[in-house]
Amino acid sequence: MRYTIRIKRQENKEAKPFWQEFEIEAEGELSIAAMLNELNARQKLTDKSGKEAEPISWECGCMVKKCGACAMRINGLPELACSTFLQSLKGKVIVLEPLSKFPVVKDLIVDRSVVFENLKKINLWLESDAYMTEYTHEIRYQSARCLMCGCCLEVCPNFDFGKDFAGAIAPVNAYRILNEEQDTSHHEQIAEKYRKHYFEGCGKSLSCQNICPAGIPVEELMVRSNAAAVWKK
């Protein structure tokens, strides 16, 4: 089947974005990541009009839905390129854009360093030996599966780059630390900053719940983190 790939491109963060279309013959089992690799592997990459084009810049790491590096907007929705297949998309025109909530570095690559900076603001690290119980093992495991891909932030109506609100990534990761920290004073520091950088800014729209490419139970982790940090349960 012949597909038209429409990509929003940008040479650097100061440059003006532009659209460029490519064509590819492919089977439905091909992933977006594999398709991008196939386009870039061409000895001479040309767009749909026959004009020579620069290789498409995008990020990838594991290619098996484990690192979150290849997050981008695919037909308007934030998804991982490695786990989105042509057969799952409607129509023969596929639109690729960088995530819109982060500064563009080049083409489909964005700067997501704010994700880690926001987690640092909440002091999400242990100051003492971890306290673990078998009762919480499964939900702690779910918390640790977060890919930091930013898909949940892309759909969040409350998250804006450079603002204090850290988005759903905060409660997902906070649960594990709040549950394991034995140092009372550090637990209180985490709870205080959690309230400031997450709880007070969340509008409870839960737009993040179903967009997570890893299938993490975001709502449950929110409830548990809120209970530990805000309601002290």
Rounded Cα distance, 127 and 115, in Å: 21
pLDDT in tens, 168-224: 999 999 999 999 999 999 999 999 999 999 999 999 999 999 999 999 999 999 999
- CATH fold, domain 1-108, is Ubiquitin-like (UB roll) (3.10.20)
Check residue 28 and give its pLDDT: 78
3-state SS string for 132-157: CCHHHHHHHHHHHCCCCCCHHHHHCC
Q: Is 50 exposed, middle or buried (0-12, 13-18, 19+ CB in 10 A)?
A: exposed
Q: Quote the Cα angle for 116-78-12, to 5°.
A: 65
CB-based burial label for 136 (10 Å; 0-12, 13-18, 19+): middle
Q: What pLDDT digit, counting tens, does each position of 5-23 carry?
A: 999 999 998 999 999 999 9
Nearest to 215 by CA among 130, 166, 152: 152
CATH 3.10.20.30 segments of the chain: 1-108
As given in the structure block, the two tokens for residue 74 are: 């695919």
User: In CATH, what number does 111-229 get?
Assistant: 1.10.1060.10
Which pLDDT value is given to residue 233? 61
Amino acid (one-letter) located at 169: I
Which pTM does this prediction carry?
Answer: 0.93
The per-residue pLDDT for 232 is 78
pLDDT in tens, 136-183: 999 999 999 999 999 999 999 999 988 889 999 999 999 999 999 999
CATH 1.10.1060.10 residue ranges for the chain? 111-229
